[in-house]
């Protein structure tokens, strides 16, 4: 069988609950920090954070801290036996001599209790020499403060494209950042065994990198450090790079004191210290022909990378590779550069720059449609990729027809045209309340742009009693990867799901893993788990063939029975076969490996085929806006998303719903505010808790929420015909923002462009609708 084919009665494709759902909702699921209470002699770590956005550390006196009862030690740069750096770019000192943002930890205090550690941290005397700071992207642009490589993605010749254009528009656009707000904040727990082996439990999406960075901080080989991730209470990209330094601090503390060390950020610390979604600034020029088709697009994207590079370069690469979204743009010239500011080091966040890139083009289309005299949905559909066309980076858009089919299906399912008329009638009848209805597409490339990351490993054991234990390199952050991997193993071995257990992710079981990221966890680890299971099954088929008197190729494995093709009644029991196979000295465990075939990417030229395939989706959102306050609600959302043949439909539905709501948060509610004044708190994050940072919750859910998965969507070349699902649905929320724009526009005369800030908070919506309203010719009283 090839990778995408599935047997008839298979555990993959069954709509089952998340493997830990019952534990999650009853509070029994354990997270990294829950494991600390089981250890004796536990030490607690607390940071000494900089009160300046940018300052040189000129002195560090810990005398008073060490006098605080319970304080055991203060960790500083002098304690680091290896490399004093927590990143992969060499620009993230773990114990810095220059504080680069407000709250930057310059030392860590270890104590017998968290309270003591906190008091100790407050007692450390640090002297600072404040330095000038850069807080906003616009300040960074003005001061030419950039970091890392600048990249250009180009196709054709935009000069020619603009000459061919009947209409040319220019504009600027600022896109806000986003706090991950995973429920579980960053946490690490480290201890050292009698042989000096360092064991770290970490809330990390990338255990291998946590291992490597801890090893280099400690000056140890990777083999001396083991990292385990039981599960995370959400990662969303925020635990791809950020956990490494915390793990290293805990491990350093454990090696120096011989006691286990626990480090857990509280919410304020997590929000103050850890990187977020990159804010972006875009300056653009777009050309369209007389029919509204793109002729050219010229863009400069500037992301706010914060104080260090972290993942800013690959995030920018993905932003550039998603500017096109679902649209063919013949001539493109797009530049990307990363500002360096004195803020948290911005990092991966669901979509990894893709959402920002797509939003730029969707914003352009939403802004110019009225100026082109077209409905925005018509303008969008006219520009869709057609089969045979390629992206600006040279990758053919395989299955471009799916976008057209999906769009048509969604317009029908959501009664789009009828509801357009209803919305128009409502708006005509209501001067102070307006509705907006919008539809937007999603096309998202699946695979890591960095080709080497597209590999995975697994270790599958069949024990003598027939029970199965799987390990794989991916981490579980609520997205249901473990559930899917159990379904894959049960399908590949032909056993019931109840025979399969899954062990926590550990670097000593499966080494050299990639981050669980880029939505590719199930594709990659699924390929590896299936490979391991296939090897075990081949060994067992050889044994069964002898017993059953058939060729090994004709042995079938299904639901715990093993039988000759066409003769289920002549079957053997799986357990009996495993027992026999053991006595015949057959290997009953295997290591599996998968590498995504067919990828290549030239990072400098920004050309190649970095993605295995594209994930497609579309959404229709209807909103209602109040003209007095700008307050709004989402009345209804209809989503249709392509997950191939779903590995686990309930999980995938959850991912699509959750992605949309998280996107809604980013685009409409969540607003990070930093102190941009010249006062003493310059650079401080002002929205550092749930009381000042507004997240979407039940009350923001669409009144009606219809979510569908595209049918007959088998993806050949991917495990059991499925497609990745984790990130792409976030961008379905763009239709909500566009619907808000439509509603704002309805307060004014037709044919006007309606700029809208992002996030489109009620305040931003108010100013947009107020501008529209001001453009309406005033009625003469008494008329
Ligand atoms: N879903 C939940 N519940 N929690 C998460 O942290 N992270 C998202 C997405 N869905 C996340 C989630 C992100 S950023 C990615 S890259 C994918 O899940 C990662 O998992 P996958 O590769 O297994 O899809
Ligand atoms: Mo997801 S942003 O790739 O962890």
| Alpha-carbon separation of residue 255 from 44, 77, 120, 194, 432 (angstroms) | 14, 15, 20, 11, 66
Mean pLDDT of 702-713: 97
- What lines the ligand 2 site, CB under 6 Å? 205, 237, 240, 348-350, 352, 517-518, 727
* Proximal ligand: closest to the CA of 234: 1
Measured from the CA of 517, which atom of ligand 2 is nearest? Answer: 3
pLDDT in tens, 321-340: 999 999 999 999 999 999 99
Q: What is the pLDDT of residue 781?
A: 54
Best probe residue, ligand 1, of 350, 479, 529, 648 (max atoms within 8 Å of C-beta): 479
Query: SS3 string of 355-410?
Result: HHHHHHHHHHHHHHHHHHCCCHHHHHHHCECCCCCECCCCCECCCHHHHHHHHHHH
99 prior amide bond cis, ω within 30: no
Taking the chain, what is the end-to-end CA distance rounded to the nearest angstrom? 77
Q: What is the pLDDT of residue 776?
A: 85
Best probe residue, ligand 2, of 177, 180, 206, 240 (max atoms within 8 Å of C-beta): 240
Mean pLDDT of 379-393: 98
User: Across the beta sheet with 167-175, what order do the strands follow?
Assistant: 146-155, 331-339, 294-304, 280-288, 167-175
Mean pLDDT of 755-766: 97
Q: Whose CA is nearest to atom 18 of ligand 1?
A: 726
DSSP annotation of 72 reads E
Collapse the DSSP code of 109 into the 3-class scheme (helix H, G, I; strand E, B; otherwise coil) and give the result. Answer: strand
Q: Are 45 and 73 in contact (CB under 8 A)?
A: no
Mean pLDDT of 204-232: 98
Q: What is the pLDDT of residue 37?
A: 86
Mean pLDDT of 78-104: 97
pLDDT in tens, 675-701: 999 999 999 999 999 999 999 998 899
- Residues 31, 32, 33: CA angle, nearest 5 degrees: 95
Q: Given a cut of 60, is residue 39 above it in pLDDT? A: yes
Gap from CA of 523 to ligand 2 centroid (Å): 14
Q: What is the pLDDT of residue 782?
A: 47
Annotation says 711 is catalytic: no
**CA 228 to mean position of chain CA atoms:** 21
Which two structure tokens, joined as six digits, stand for 783? 């008329």
- What lines the ligand 1 site, CB under 6 Å? 234-237, 350, 477-479, 481, 516-522, 655, 658, 724, 726-727
How confident is the prediction for the chain on average, in pLDDT?
97
Nearest in space to 483 (alpha carbons), one of 326, 612, 652: 652
Count CB atoms within 10 A of the CB of residue 600.
10
Cα 688 from Cα 573, distance rounded (Å): 58
Gap from CA of 170 to ligand 1 centroid (Å): 36
Mean pLDDT of 637-641: 98
Gap from CA of 658 to ligand 1 centroid (Å): 10
* Proximal ligand: closest to the CA of 235: 1
Cα 196 from Cα 208, distance rounded (Å): 19
pLDDT in tens, 146-161: 999 999 999 999 999 9
Cα 661 from Cα 699, distance rounded (Å): 11
Collapse the DSSP code of 767 into the 3-class scheme (helix H, G, I; strand E, B; otherwise coil) and give the result. Answer: helix
Collapse the DSSP code of 612 into the 3-class scheme (helix H, G, I; strand E, B; otherwise coil) and give the result. Answer: coil
- The proportion of the chain whose per-residue pLDDT surpasses 70, expressed as a percent, equals 99
Rounded to 10°, the helix 400-413/416-429 angle is 50
pLDDT in tens, 442-491: 999 999 999 999 999 999 999 999 999 999 999 999 999 999 999 999 99
Gap from CA of 307 to ligand 2 centroid (Å): 20
Q: Are 328 and 384 in contact (CB under 8 A)?
A: yes
Cα 444 from Cα 725, distance rounded (Å): 10
Q: What is the pLDDT of residue 779?
A: 58
Helix ranges (H only) for 132-242 are: 137-142, 158-164, 207-218
Measured from the CA of 237, which atom of ligand 1 is nearest? Answer: 14
Length of the chain: 783
Domains in the chain (CATH in brackets) are 20-28+455-595 (3.30.365.10), 32-133+180-273 (3.30.365.10), 280-449+603-774 (3.30.365.10)
Q: What is the pLDDT of residue 777?
A: 79
**CA 110 to mean position of chain CA atoms:** 33
DSSP annotation of 483 reads H
Given the residues 92, 727, 738, 742, the one annotated as active site: 727
* Proximal ligand: closest to the CA of 450: 2
Q: Give rounded-to-5 percent helix, strand, coil for the chain.
A: 35, 25, 40
DSSP annotation of 665 reads I
Instruction: Name the strand (E) or helix (H) holding 661.
Output: helix 649-664
| Alpha-carbon separation of residue 214 from 34, 209, 248, 249 (angstroms) | 22, 8, 5, 8
Residue 421 burial (C-beta neighbours within 10 Å; 0-12, 13-18, 19+): exposed
- The proportion of the chain whose per-residue pLDDT surpasses 90, expressed as a percent, equals 98
pLDDT in tens, 508-521: 999 999 999 999 99
pLDDT in tens, 1-31: 789 999 988 999 999 999 999 999 999 999 9
Gap from CA of 313 to ligand 2 centroid (Å): 14
Gap from CA of 519 to ligand 1 centroid (Å): 6
Best probe residue, ligand 2, of 514, 727, 729, 730 (max atoms within 8 Å of C-beta): 727
């Amino acid at each position: 069988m090839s990778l995408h084919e599935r047997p008839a009665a298979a555990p993959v494709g069954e709509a089952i609950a998340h493997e830990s759902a019952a534990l999650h909702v009853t509070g029994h699921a354990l997270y990294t920090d829950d494991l600390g209470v089981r250890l004796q002699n536990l030490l607690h770590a607390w940071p000494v954070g900089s009160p300046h956005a940018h300052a040189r550390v000129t002195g560090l006196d810990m005398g008073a801290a060490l006098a605080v009862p319970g304080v055991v030690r203060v960790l500083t740069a002098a304690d680091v036996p290896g490399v004093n750096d927590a990143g992969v770019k060499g620009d993230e000192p773990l114990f810095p001599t220059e504080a680069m943002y407000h709250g930057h930890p310059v030392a860590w205090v270890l104590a017998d209790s968290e309270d003591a550690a906190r008091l100790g941290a407050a007692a450390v005397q640090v002297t600072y020499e404040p330095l000038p700071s850069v807080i906003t992207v616009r300040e960074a642009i003005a001061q030419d403060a950039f970091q890392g490589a600048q990249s250009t993605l180009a196709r054709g010749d935009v000069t020619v494209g603009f000459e061919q254009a009947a209409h040319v528009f220019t504009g600027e656009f600022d896109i806000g950042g986003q706090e991950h707000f995973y429920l579980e904040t960053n946490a690490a727990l480290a201890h050292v065994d009698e042989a000096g082996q360092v064991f770290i439990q970490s809330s990390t999406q990338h255990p291998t990198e946590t291992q490597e960075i801890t090893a280099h901080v400690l000056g140890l080989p990777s083999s001396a450090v083991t990292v385990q991730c039981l599960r995370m209470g959400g990662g969303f990209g925020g635990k791809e790079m950020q956990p490494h330094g915390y793990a290293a601090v805990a491990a350093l503390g454990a090696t120096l004191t011989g006691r286990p060390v626990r480090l857990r950020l509280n919410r304020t610390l997590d929000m103050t210290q850890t990187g977020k979604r990159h804010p972006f600034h875009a300056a653009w020029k777009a050309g369209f022909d007389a029919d509204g088709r793109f002729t050219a697009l010229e863009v400069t994207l500037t992301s706010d990378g914060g104080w260090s590079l972290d993942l800013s370069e690959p995030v920018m690469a993905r932003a550039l590779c998603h500017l096109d979204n679902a649209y063919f743009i013949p001539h493109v010239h797009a530049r990307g550069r990363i500002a360096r500011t004195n803020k948290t080091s911005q990092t991966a966040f669901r979509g990894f720059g893709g959402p920002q890139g797509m939003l730029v083009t969707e914003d352009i289309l939403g802004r110019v449609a009225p100026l082109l005299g077209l409905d925005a949905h018509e303008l969008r559909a006219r520009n869709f990729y057609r089969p045979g066309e390629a992206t600006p980076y040279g990758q053919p858009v395989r299955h471009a027809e799916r976008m057209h089919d999906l769009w048509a299906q969604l317009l029908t399912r959501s009664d789009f045209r009828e509801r357009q008329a209803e919305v128009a009638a409502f708006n005509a009848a209501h001067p102070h309340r307006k509705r907006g209805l919008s539809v937007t597409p999603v096309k998202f490339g699946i695979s890591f742009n960095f080709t080497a990351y597209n590999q995975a490993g697994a270790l599958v054991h069949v024990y003598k009693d027939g029970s199965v234990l799987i390990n794989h390199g991916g981490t579980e952050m609520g997205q249901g990867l473990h559930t899917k991997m159990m379904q894959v193993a049960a399908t590949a071995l032909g056993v019931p799901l109840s025979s399969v257990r899954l062990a926590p992710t550990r670097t000593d079981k499966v080494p050299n893993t990639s981050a669980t990221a880029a939505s590719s966890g199930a594709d990659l680890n699924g390929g590896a788990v299936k490979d391991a299971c296939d090897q075990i099954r081949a060994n067992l088929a050889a044994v069964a063939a002898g017993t059953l008197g058939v060729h090994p190729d004709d042995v079938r494995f299904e639901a715990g029975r093993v039988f000759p093709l066409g003769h289920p009644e002549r079957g053997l029991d799986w357990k009996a076969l495993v027992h026999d196979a053991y006595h015949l000295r057959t290997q009953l465990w295997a290591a599996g490996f998968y590498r995504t075939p067919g990828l290549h990417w030239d990072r400098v030229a920004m050309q190649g085929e970095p993605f295995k395939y594209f994930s497609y989706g579309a959404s229709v959102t209807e909103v209602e806006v109040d003209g007095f306050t700008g307050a709004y609600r989402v009345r209804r959302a209809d989503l249709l998303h392509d997950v191939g043949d779903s590995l686990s439909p309930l999980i995938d539905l959850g991912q699509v719903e959750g992605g949309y709501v998280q996107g809604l948060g980013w685009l409409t509610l969540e607003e990070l505010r930093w102190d941009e004044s010249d006062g003493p708190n310059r650079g401080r994050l002002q929205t550092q808790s749930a009381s000042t940072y507004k997240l979407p919750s039940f009350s923001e859910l669409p009144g009606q929420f219809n979510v569908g998965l595209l049918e007959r969507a088998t993806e050949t070349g991917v495990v059991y015909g499925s497609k990745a699902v984790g990130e792409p649905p976030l961008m379905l929320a763009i239709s909500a923002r566009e619907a808000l724009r439509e509603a704002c526009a309805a307060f004014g005369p037709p044919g006007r462009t309606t700029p809208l800030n992002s996030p489109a908070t009620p305040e931003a919506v108010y100013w947009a609708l107020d501008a529209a309203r001001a453009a309406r010719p005033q009625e003469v009283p008494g008329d």
